[in-house]
């Protein structure tokens, strides 16, 4: 498919040297007041962007020889071929998430769903093995959300070349974004998304478009990343009053203070996990709990609205394939670790926990919720995962059903757990 070209006039209008446009926006045009309402939601992970640890059944044909399996969505479609990949993914898109799931999410007392989707859903670049069809399901999901009374964040989760080296970008172990013309390609996708979803027909439900999930800021050129983010904001802003979100890119929040502010209908998405380093997985329960309580100080220094757009109940990285297909865990010493801190065999399954363990997990969750309520809201990762994969502590629905996640989210079994 031929990529549409962003005109030089549009790019010129987005450069940082140009004064920020002043828009007269009536509040009735935007049906969510981030200043006055807390975002409380879940991510719809593993649906329109694949992650092997969320839905390992899509990789079942390699379960007896995982070393031969493709490590991400890009390579899954490359290995299967487009016709087989299309059929496999259509079946997955049709069944993984339905209207009933959105009704259930609303029944939990939540108000928002964040829906990841890759650039390839809107444009295929030369040589891409990806298949398309995701946009029809995104549109269907927006209708489900409207019917359930939920708001939608459209989260552009993968960029050309890969923005972070994680499988959630579609392309693992490669960070090619901001090289060559990849920024221009991604801005063209943002324009296509904004032209459609900023229009009045969607504004009652689609309240925010996130320009890019988790770019690896420490490994990317800051000037290029900052300019891309600003340009993405400018494109969305010129299409309508829909809010713009962008990732903190694993950088300190104050680093973004020279770019825009809440008056420009922009917020920063900060992700907070406690399992992706050896120092974190080596913590005792009470050290994890204290870190959850102290998280409220992580959000100071920003001049923008801040939402914790991803977090989980996990205290280990034991969910199978969480660190990538055919990779082990830091916790048990099978991935990037010099030692083991325990076994993963008894982790991530709420049905085998004692009541004391369930209470401890509930207290840990409540401590995080209390911290994240100090921001403008939070969105849990993720709504559900496949069973039997040591991943219950990542599944909001599973945690609610077992009494570990508060329902509604403001209820507390341990009032003021942080004192």
Q: Is residue 349 part of a domain?
A: yes
> At a CB cut-off of 8 Å and minimum separation 6, what does 48 contact?
93, 115, 116, 117, 118, 121, 134, 137, 138
Its pTM stands at 0.92
Residue 3, domain member (yes or no): no
CATH code of the domain containing 122:
3.20.20.80
* pLDDT tens, residue order, the chain (419 aa): 433 333 333 333 333 333 333 333 333 445 688 888 999 999 999 999 999 999 999 999 999 999 999 999 999 999 999 999 999 999 999 999 999 999 999 999 999 999 999 999 999 999 999 999 999 999 999 999 999 999 999 999 999 999 999 999 999 999 999 999 999 999 999 999 999 999 999 999 999 999 999 999 999 999 999 999 999 999 999 999 999 999 999 999 999 998 776 778 899 999 999 999 999 999 999 999 999 999 999 998 888 899 999 999 999 999 999 999 999 999 999 999 889 999 999 999 999 999 999 999 999 999 999 999 999 999 999 999 999 999 999 999 999 999 999 999 999 999 888 98
d(CA 158, CA 190): 12
The CA distance from 339 to 278, in Å, is 9
Question: Among all residues, which ones are annotated catalytic?
Answer: 214, 310
- Examine residue 44 and state whether it is found in any structural domain, yes or no: yes
> Residue 131 domain-assigned?
yes
The span from the CA of 334 to the CA of 359, in Å, is 29
Which of the 8 DSSP states describes residue 282? T
Task: Please provide the size of the chain in residues.
Answer: 419
pLDDT of amino acid 31:
67
Give the per-residue pLDDT at 12: 36
The answer as to whether 10 is a domain residue is no
**How many domains does the chain contain in total?**
1
12 found inside a domain = no
Q: Domain range holding 298?
A: 37-401
Q: Enumerate residues 6+ apart whose C-beta is below 8 A from 359.
A: 413
Write down the pLDDT at residue 30. Answer: 54
Angle at 331 between CA 339 and CA 63, to 5 degrees: 110
Strand, coil or helix: 367:
helix
In-domain check, residue 112 = yes
* Distance in angstroms (rounded) separating the CA atoms of residues 182 and 185: 5
Domain-located, residue 25:
no
């Amino acid at each position: 498919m031929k990529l549409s070209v962003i005109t030089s006039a549009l790019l010129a209008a987005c450069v940082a040297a140009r004064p920020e446009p002043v828009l007269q926006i009536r509040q009735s045009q935007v049906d969510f007041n981030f200043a006055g309402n807390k975002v409380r939601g879940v991510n719809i992970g593993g649906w329109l962007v694949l992650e092997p640890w969320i839905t390992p059944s899509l990789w079942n044909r390699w379960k007896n020889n995982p070393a031969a399996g493709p490590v991400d969505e890009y390579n899954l479609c490359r290995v299967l071929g487009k016709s087989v990949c299309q059929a496999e993914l259509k079946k997955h898109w049709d069944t993984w998430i339905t209207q009933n799931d959105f009704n259930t999410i609303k029944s939990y007392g939540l108000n928002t769903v964040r829906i990841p989707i890759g650039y390839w859903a809107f444009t295929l670049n030369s040589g891409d093995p990806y298949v398309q069809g995701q946009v029809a399901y995104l549109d269907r999901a927006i209708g489900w959300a409207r019917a359930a009374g939920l708001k939608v964040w459209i989260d552009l989760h993968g960029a050309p070349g890969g923005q972070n080296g994680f499988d959630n970008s579609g392309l693992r172990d490669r960070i090619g974004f901001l090289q060559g013309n990849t920024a221009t390609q991604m801005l063209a996708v943002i324009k296509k998304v904004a032209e459609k979803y900023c229009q009045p027909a969607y504004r009652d439900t689609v309240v925010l478009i996130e320009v890019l999930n988790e770019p690896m800021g420490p490994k990317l050129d800051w000037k290029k990343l900052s300019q891309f983010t600003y340009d993405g904001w400018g494109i969305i802003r010129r299409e309508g009053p829909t809010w713009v979100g962008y990732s903190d890119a694993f950088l300190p929040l104050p680093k973004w203070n020279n770019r825009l502010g809440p008056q420009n209908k922009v917020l920063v998405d900060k992700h907070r996990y406690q399992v992706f380093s050896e120092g974190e997985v080596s913590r005792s329960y009470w050290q994890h709990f204290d870190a959850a309580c102290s998280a409220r100080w992580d959000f100071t220094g920003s001049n923008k609205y801040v939402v914790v757009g991803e977090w989980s109940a996990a205290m280990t990285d034991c969910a199978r394939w969480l660190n990538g297909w055919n990779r082990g865990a830091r916790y048990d010493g099978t991935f990037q670790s010099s030692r083991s801190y325990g076994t993963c065999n008894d982790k991530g399954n709420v049905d085998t926990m004692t009541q004391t363990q369930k209470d401890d997990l509930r207290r840990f969750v409540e401590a995080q919720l209390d911290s994240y309520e100090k921001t403008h809201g939070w969105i849990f990762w993720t709504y559900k995962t496949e069973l039997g994969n040591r991943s219950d502590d990542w599944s909001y629905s599973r945690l609610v059903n077992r009494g570990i996640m508060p329902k509604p989210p403001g209820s507390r079994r341990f009032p003021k757990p942080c004192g």
